[in-house]
Amino acid sequence: MTCETDVAVIGAGAAGLAAGASLAAAGVDFRILEAASVIGGRAATDRETLGTPFDLGCHWLHDARANPFVPIARRLGFRFDADGPARRQRLLHLGARFATADEATAAQAAVDAAMDAVTAAGRAGRDVAAVEALRPLGPWLPLARHWLALMSAAAPERISTLDYSRYHDTDDNWPVLDGYGALIQAHAGTLPVTLDCPVTRLDHGGRRLRLETPRGTLTARFAIVAVSTAVVARGQLAFTPSLPPELGEAFAALPLGCAEKIALLFDDDVFGVPPRTGLDAFDTDRPQRLAVSALLRPGGAPAAVVHIAGPEAAALVAAGEGAMVDFATSALAQAFGAGLRGRVRRARVTNWTHAPYIGGAYSCALPGAGHLRPWLHQGLGTRVLFAGEALGGPAFSTAHGAHLSGRAAAETVLERLRSQP
């Protein structure tokens, strides 16, 4: 492949697809190059394992009343639940028993207090590890740590309070019942994407940009780089000349942590709870044991989707699929009885941590580096712009944040194309 285009988009996740849609609407000549064999990146829906849509990656329409995917979902006929989360049952298991109503209330208050404390520290200008902002939480500390890890894909020791405080959160978090990954892929429509085509080097030193791939070289006037921070930080996508030190530092300071899912299908309902019941579980007698959250009976199926996050989860992922399935089954058996162990019929685990062209869940700034995320918005000179969940502004780490960043990058490129005949 040796060819030319006006705009090259590297990556066909939510950001790259959004950029491509904007460029297509403007009638610009562009190409999207995707390293993987499918589009969507961390937006992917499995329809087979559980017999109901199960999102391997993003699932929730965060900040839903302002989320651009809500009107897109309505237009494409994708179902989402705008009311269910508020009234959905949520259980708390403490290792040997379920929590009382008062204990569950106290636990939730502790989690909220922990998140508020981390946010307050960042808004006060402190850029320290989130763990330093936590007040004594008594027996609920493991649960608070677990939720901070779920939110950031990192342990509280590796979460910048400044970065955390810049995330805009609301209570409007609506699940996409037909699959967020399927929604994002449906929205892409027939955009031209070249699959199995990783860009290994972007040479921005000449009159035209040169993108090296295993299929040959593509030249372009502009490029939108919509890959994960990990891909850039570990040199999978190299730059010639090298990135300026401040840009290289920013990519390295925004690593992708670990947040994974284990989906289990049972031969029948083993839970006896309403569809989409939530479960948090940790062991008060063994607080060092990995805590979990789970969605029980998604879509009414006799199934569970178990969520794990943080460094302990990364160790479990490294141990392999069997270890992940065994751990998730054991966690559920502790709450609902050992009899469910032999009733698992199908299982699937995610492994974003080792996905070759992604390298983790979502970005979280390291302590002391919360000021570096905005640097990515500067781009590389005037011809190379970056997009992705890491550049989602106050919606960083989300699919809609990635989408908005891709649209913004495309609009900037279009303005520059109009000014440079």
Which pLDDT tens digit goes with each residue over 335-346? Answer: 999 999 999 999
**What residue type is assigned to position 310 of the chain?**
G
Where in the sequence of the chain do the CATH 3.90.660.10 domains occur? 90-159+257-354
pLDDT band at 421; cut points 50, 70, 90:
low
Rounded to whole angstroms, the Cα distance separating 222 from 220 reads 5
Q: State residue 1's pLDDT score.
A: 55
Domain(s) of CATH 3.50.50.60: residues in the chain: 2-43+178-254+365-419
Across 196-201, average pLDDT: 98
Which pLDDT belongs to residue 415?
97
Match 């492994």 to its residue by tokens. Answer: 351
Residue recorded with tokens 């479960």: 279
State pLDDT tens for residues 65-105.
999 999 999 999 999 999 877 678 999 999 999 999 999 99
Residue-wise pLDDT for 138-178, tens only, equals 999 999 999 999 999 999 999 999 999 999 989 899 999 99
The contacts found for 331-340 with CB under 8 angstroms, 24 or more apart, are: 331/281, 331/292, 331/294, 331/306, 332/264, 332/270, 332/294, 332/304, 332/306, 334/93, 334/95, 334/281, 334/283, 335/91, 335/93, 335/98, 335/279, 335/281, 336/270, 336/271, 337/270, 339/270, 340/266, 340/270
Q: What is the pLDDT of residues 3-37, one digit of tens each?
A: 899 999 999 999 999 999 999 999 999 999 999 99
Is the Cβ–Cβ distance between 130 and 118 less than 8 Å? yes
Give per-residue pLDDT as tens, 370-409: 999 999 999 999 999 999 999 999 999 999 999 999 999 9
Given this structure, which CATH class describes domain 2-43+178-254+365-419? Answer: alpha beta
pTM reported for the whole predicted model? 0.96
Top CATH class of 90-159+257-354 equals alpha beta
Among 413, 409, 417, 414, which Cα is nearest to 377's?
409
pLDDT of 2 = 55
Please check whether residue 218 is in contact with residue 5, taking contact to mean a CB–CB distance below 8 angstroms.
yes
**Phi/psi at 261 (5° precision):** -130, 145
User: How do residues 342-380 score in pLDDT, each as one tens digit?
Assistant: 999 999 999 999 999 999 999 999 999 999 999 999 999
Beta bridge partners of 69: none
